[in-house]
Amino acid sequence: MKVLVTGGLGFIGSHLVDRYIDLGCEVIIVDNLSTGSLANLNPNARFVSMSLVEEQVADLINVEKPDIINHHAAQVNVRNSVANPFYDIETNLIATIKLLEAAGKAEVKRFIFSSSGGTVYGKTPSRAIPESYKTNPISPYGINKLASEFYIKFYAELYGFQAVILRYSNVYGLRQNPQSESGVISIFINRIKNNMHPVIFGDGKQIRDYIHVSDVVNANILFSQLNSSLQGTFNVGTGKGTSLNKLLTFFYSHYPDGKVPVYQDAKNGDLFYNVLSINKLTSLGWSPKISLEKGIKELCQTQGDIS
């Protein structure tokens, strides 16, 4: 099976590439290295340095004719999308449409898309939200993710390929960039281990659903079987919420001398509560395997800071 992974040198994409390689797949990575790193390159994958808005992408897909396209390349900074919405449109929406056009013409069998359960629903009540809940994104990033979902459904119907949309909650794990605003866990561990105060915007009672990257990869693999008819839109999370204040206690159990947090004014547009219902996905046999406490411990151990 031949798989093309966009963003395959990034945080989630590189873990996904590793798993595909382990399963014996032929893997092609397309990444422009805007946020990805060559340090994440699996030597058994083929790497093409290219932006998805370039016309050569269609030529590449037409020549390679992958069985599956797994689309993880994106501009993921919500605040940057507000500051520069045109760039977000080009990078997250137009690039996706071009990829879909090429996929359809090359007779790709399956298209998997990493969407955002943290942004497409907008403000939500304090309960786990199912896929059927109304979508109401409040940022250009969320708007373009949702628009991409509609285009994926359109092109899947037009060309007859199978489409899978995975709405992720807050993903964490090894290789996450501590400079990324979406990686609060990597930000916290980076500051605490370097004897810096972790910074919390607001009162720290904000609730999020944190999922380990390996569980996200497992969800992708579930939908990567060509003999399967599984398709549709699925939340990928744990169904459990954790406040920022609670999250910090997991770190302090490993760094008892870590500096206390500094609280600053909440940022405009920040959501208070975002937890995803995963009943639809668990009904297919998938379930998250790594608890937040275990995941943070393993992350700290991997970085060589604790035994």
pLDDT tens-digit profile of 241-260? 999 999 999 999 888 999 99
Residues of the chain with pLDDT > 70, as a percent, come to 98
170: pLDDT strictly greater than 90: yes
- The CB-based long-range contact list for 252-257 (8 Å cut-off, 24+ gap) reads 252/192, 254/296, 254/297, 254/300, 254/305, 254/306, 255/192, 255/193, 255/300, 255/305, 255/306
For residue 161, what are its two tokens?
Answer: 């390929």
- Cα(268)–Cα(181) distance, rounded to whole angstroms? 14
CATH code of the domain covering residue 65: 3.40.50.720
- Cα(25)–Cα(212) distance, rounded to whole angstroms? 23
- Cα(2)–Cα(110) distance, rounded to whole angstroms? 11
The closest of 303, 199, 291 to 240, measured between CA atoms, is 291
Of 80 and 11, the structure prediction assigns the larger pLDDT to: 11
Shared-domain flag, residues 152 and 52: yes
Mean pLDDT of the chain: 94
The closest of 96, 293, 3, 263 to 88, measured between CA atoms, is 96
Shared-domain flag, residues 61 and 164: yes
Shared-domain flag, residues 251 and 190: yes
Q: Where do we find the tokens 């275990």?
A: 294
Shared-domain flag, residues 27 and 159: yes
Q: Structural domain tally of the chain?
A: 2
Shared-domain flag, residues 29 and 69: yes
Residue 45's domain comprises 2-170+211-236
Q: Where do we find the tokens 């013409």?
A: 105
- Cα(185)–Cα(173) distance, rounded to whole angstroms? 8
| Mean pLDDT computed over 65-77 | 94
Taking only the tens place, the pLDDT of each residue in 85-112 is: 999 999 999 999 999 999 999 999 999 9
Taking only the tens place, the pLDDT of each residue in 184-243 is: 999 999 899 889 999 999 999 999 999 999 999 999 999 998 888 999 999 999 999 999
Shared-domain flag, residues 49 and 124: yes
Whole-number pLDDT of residue 7: 97
Are β-strands 162-168 and 210-212 bridged in parallel, bridged antiparallel, or unpaired?
unpaired
Whole-number pLDDT of residue 302: 83
Shared-domain flag, residues 151 and 110: yes
Shared-domain flag, residues 128 and 224: yes
Whole-prediction pTM? 0.95
Which of 26-35, 70-79, 170-179 has maximum average pLDDT? 26-35
Q: Is 271 exposed, middle or buried (0-12, 13-18, 19+ CB in 10 A)?
A: middle
Taking only the tens place, the pLDDT of each residue in 116-168 is: 998 999 999 999 999 999 999 999 999 999 999 999 999 999 999 999 999 99
End-to-end CA distance of the chain: 40
Is 141 designated active site?
yes
25: pLDDT strictly greater than 90: yes
Whole-number pLDDT of residue 101: 97
Shared-domain flag, residues 153 and 178: no
Shared-domain flag, residues 231 and 128: yes
Shared-domain flag, residues 226 and 257: no
Whole-number pLDDT of residue 306: 61
The closest of 101, 33, 27 to 70, measured between CA atoms, is 27
CATH code of the domain covering residue 295: 3.90.25.10
134: how many CB neighbours lie within 10 A of its CB? Answer: 8
79: pLDDT strictly greater than 90: no
Whole-number pLDDT of residue 228: 87
Determine which one of 20, 141, 210, 273 is catalytic: 141
| Mean pLDDT computed over 6-33 | 98
Shared-domain flag, residues 124 and 164: yes
The closest of 175, 219, 237 to 7, measured between CA atoms, is 175
Q: How confident is the model at residue 177 (pLDDT cuts 50, 70, 90)?
A: confident
- Cα(61)–Cα(51) distance, rounded to whole angstroms? 13
